[in-house]
Structure 1
Amino acid sequence: MSELRPDRLAAQLAAEPLRPAYLVAGPEALVVLEAADAIRAAAREQGIGDREVFDIEGRDPDWDSLSAAFNAPGLFATRRVVEVRMPTGKPGKEGAEVFTEFAANPPPDVVLLVTCADWSRQHGGKWSEALGRIGHQVIAWPIKPHELPDWIERRLRARGLRADRDAVQALAERVEGNLLAAAQEIDKLALLADGNTIDLARMQALVSDSARYDVFRLVDAAMNGEGAQVSRMLHGLRSEGEAVPALLGMVCMELQRAAALSRVQARGGNLNAEFKAQRIWDSKQAAYTRALQRHDAARWERFAAEAGRVDRIAKGRPRWGQDPMDAWIALERVLLAVANPKAMRLLG
């Protein structure tokens, strides 16, 4: 079995032709996304332009279509990428057989890319070992707190930045283990840094305190079902002097996106096409998919309406007969309900 560390993947891809199969899995969503992007980029560089995507979710995944795709010739290219998105990391008996059969006799024109959000030592089995024998397993194990400063330092170097250890530690403490937040801050540093080594004072000046509690992470927490994190972030934003109306634009947009996705899902439409239409990045699609499983279309419509109510409260214009509730409390109740169906009772 060939398990490859994510930070070694780029060098491996540059050193050899693409292998028949890649399994990219793990709870660190940013690392999984970037590893999969690197494989897709390598495929394009090697002239592989055809790509098919299969989402394996729900109770009745269509393994027959995937198996047929392995044996169907590509339309526009001699080779193609067949991408299987399997958030749970568990293909079941039928799916395991499909992957094992693929590995036993990989089609010469297919590069298989399997991505999983959930992964542990117990997830692996004969099917993943079989894929590993003909390709690579790239596992994004959780970054431990003591490992985060080194991860940040490597990423800074990759962006052409230098920072002393105190500055790196300050950034690690600020992002609280969230790799996506760390990556966003480092990208911002690349734009703002002056080429000199960043010391502690400069890091504190360049990275705003709101990095911990920005509205993007607030919405992500709600979509990911992290109710405690939602409350924590809202309290942090409030203590930093943010205003509810400043947050609502993004909150309303994301809830309206989810409502649109839920309508498509309810009528059995193409969710992948709607993700593209709504311009939802690949890195966020798994969170949306999980959120859609928690609530039906009617609830998402209500969430969007409740966000409008929060806006009226924040502007001092509650509807006739409604209590003029604190806008922060009203917003927290909506997002907690998004995160956890049990919190629906908070909406009355």
Structure 2
Amino acid sequence: MELRADRLERQLAGEPLRPVYLVAGGEPLLVQEAADAIRARAREEGYTEREVYDAEGSFDWNTLSRGMASLSLFASRRVFDLRLPTGKPGKDGSEAIREYCENPPPDTVLLITAQDWSKAHAGKWSEAIAKAGHFLPIYPLKTHELGDWLQRRLRGRGLVATPDAVQRLADRVEGNLLAAAQEVDKLALLVGTGRGAAAQAIDEAQMEQLVADSSRFDVFKLVDAALAGDAARAVRMLAALRAEGDQVAGLMPMVAKEVLALCALARAAESGNVMSAMRDARVWDSKQAMYRRAIERHPPSRWEAFVAECGAIDRAAKGRGGGDPWLRLERLLAAIADARARGLLAS
């Protein structure tokens, strides 16, 4: 069956291991920790032998089936750890997985992990896994979910923190869960665990002193912040990219690509075909709501103006146009994020 990741540990503790598990999603830390929990449970139940397969490129799926059919000389219980980076096993892989699920070998657990997942990845093979075992889709945390995730992780390390302190930590890590996990582990070492329920909570000032700035900005998050309507965050991220040594000329291809896509979608929205246009443009399901809000924020004519401004910024960044390219890009992002800021482009 399909299982929520936050219920995995309870499920593992309450039943014998299933013959097959699929853990798939675009958040590496969450995928890794879920898979680690399954492996740990397997060791507790005597699954002492583990074979690892990387199913990418020209992987021979017969290798997997032969391995499952063979008897082990060293252990009666085995874990087959199959890495499927793209989340797409192909025709041969799908058939091999379905055959396994129909008649799983005894004393064997097949653990499949994938670093990418969406509805487009699903098929009869994943349905077979959900029927014979458990499927855990791992979705990236939304901005409003990060605080609760951090609180749970802090409590798991014996720490308590005020809501303001947790928000400060969330601001620092900017959605980078690996950095967040490292910061929580560091806090456990610096502050100490096992302080008891009466221990004083870490406040915002302490958190500011204890954590490093672990934000990891890139142009994809930069554009997403602008499309989501968060002008302040977009401007802050742009400043961080500049401080890290990025150049406007290197950022503009991605910015222009997204603006061009939104311009085309805005035109399609006028005829009421925006959802069809999104499917044709292969916009991820997780981004469609953000794209719709961005389209509703500006008419097609303004998106056309944004496209023209992208060209002007690119020329300025390459020394073939006037104006400060960093300032012009900052104003463009602010205008995309907030319709009230559109006058900045004319100044």
TM-score, L = length of structure 1: 0.61
Give the 5 Å matches for 1:283-322: none
Query: Offset at 1:86?
Result: 0.4
2:75 to 61, 74, 77: 77
Q: Distance in 2 between matches of 1:233 and 1:41?
A: 39
Q: C-alpha offsets along residues 205-237 of structure 1, whole Å, 9 cap, x if unaligned?
A: 11123x225xxx99xx9xxxxxxxx99767445
Give the 5 Å matches for 1:140-289: 140-193=138-191, 195=195, 196-209=200-213, 211-212=214-215, 235-236=242-243
Q: Distance in 1 between matches of 2:155 and 2:201?
A: 11
**In the alignment, what sits opposite 2:6?**
7
**Compared with structure 1, are the counterparts of its residues 175 and 236 closer, same or farther at alpha carbon in structure 2 (3 Å cutoff)?**
farther
Q: Distance in 2 between matches of 1:11 and 1:21?
A: 17
SS at match of 1:82: strand
Q: Distance in 1 between matches of 2:126 and 2:239?
A: 38
Amino acid at match of 2:135: Q
Q: C-alpha offsets along residues 12-57 of structure 1, whole Å, 9 cap, x if unaligned?
A: 1111111100000100100000111111111111111011111011
Q: C-alpha offsets along residues 87-121 of structure 1, whole Å, 9 cap, x if unaligned?
A: 00001111000000000000012100000001012
Amino acid at match of 1:79: R
Structure 1 gaps, min length 5 = 222-229, 240-348
CA RMSD, Structure 1 to Structure 2 (Å):
2.2
**In the alignment, what sits opposite 1:30?**
29
8 Å CA contact retained: 2:8, 2:34: yes
Percent identity, aligned pairs only, is 58
**In the alignment, what sits opposite 2:128?**
130
Q: Distance in 1 between matches of 2:73 and 2:25?
A: 32
Q: Distance in 1 between matches of 2:150 and 2:240?
A: 23
Query: Offset at 1:238?
Result: 7.0
Q: Distance in 1 between matches of 2:113 and 2:165?
A: 34
Number of residue-to-residue matches in the alignment: 223
SS at match of 2:120: coil
SS at match of 1:131: helix
**Compared with structure 1, are the counterparts of its residues 232 and 15 closer, same or farther at alpha carbon in structure 2 (3 Å cutoff)?**
farther
SS at match of 2:17: coil
8 Å CA contact retained: 2:176, 2:215: no
TM-score, L = length of structure 2: 0.61
Q: Distance in 1 between matches of 2:239 and 2:106?
A: 51
**In the alignment, what sits opposite 2:46?**
47
Amino acid at match of 2:215: R
8 Å CA contact retained: 2:172, 2:212: no
8 Å CA contact retained: 2:27, 2:140: yes
Q: C-alpha offsets along residues 180-224 of structure 1, whole Å, 9 cap, x if unaligned?
A: 010000000111125431111111011123x225xxx99xx9xxx
**Compared with structure 1, are the counterparts of its residues 177 and 81 closer, same or farther at alpha carbon in structure 2 (3 Å cutoff)?**
same
SS at match of 1:84: strand
**In the alignment, what sits opposite 1:111?**
109
**In the alignment, what sits opposite 1:263?**
none
**Compared with structure 1, are the counterparts of its residues 48 and 231 closer, same or farther at alpha carbon in structure 2 (3 Å cutoff)?**
farther
2:94 to 96, 121, 126: 96
Q: Distance in 1 between matches of 2:135 and 2:188?
A: 31
**Compared with structure 1, are the counterparts of its residues 120 and 44 closer, same or farther at alpha carbon in structure 2 (3 Å cutoff)?**
same
Q: Which runs of 4+ in 1 moved over 3 A?
A: 230-239
Q: Distance in 2 between matches of 1:34 and 1:86?
A: 16
Amino acid at match of 2:148: D
Q: Distance in 1 between matches of 2:126 and 2:120?
A: 11
Q: Distance in 2 between matches of 1:231 and 1:66?
A: 47
